[in-house]
Structure 1
Amino acid sequence: MPGVYLEDGDYNFDIALRRFKKQVEKAGILSEMKKRQHFEKPSVMRKKKKAAARKRLLKKMRKMNQY
């Protein structure tokens, strides 16, 4: 779980908030929350996963053909 601990002399809230946001983003908490916000049928999840894999493959192919 992300957390930011401030030192005795470090009272800058903006810097602490920025560090916390970066840790939350890196941990993937917001994307996980959005994913779990509504129930998704297993068939829909499989379709999304397959579409994402195809998108990654096409992107990789475009990148390979570029050079």
Structure 2
Amino acid sequence: MVKLRLRDNESVQDAVRRFRKLVEHAGIKKELRKREYFEKPSEARRRDRRRAKRRASTMNELARG
């Protein structure tokens, strides 16, 4: 959960900017996008396998030189 306290003499724009950074850092936007629609467990596994395969191929390319 993101908590934000206004600092002394802090403008609203600065507070909003700090709030956006805190939300981004906490991963809330990513989580909201992920939960926007239901994802079947099989689709989640498929997505995870693709991500792992892509990561492995990238690591292989880096290892080769």
The normalised TM-score by structure 1 is 0.79
| Large movers: runs of 4+ above 6 Å | none
Size of the alignment, in residue pairs?
Answer: 65
- Alignment of 1:65 with 2:64, yes or no, is yes
Identity %: 37
The normalised TM-score by structure 2 is 0.81
The CA deviation string for residues 12-45 of structure 1, in whole angstroms up to 9 with x for no partner, is 1222112111111111111111111111111110
Unaligned runs of 5+ in 1: none
| Cα pair distance change 1:63/1:18, threshold 3 Å | farther
For the aligned residue pairs, the C-alpha RMSD in angstroms reads 1.5
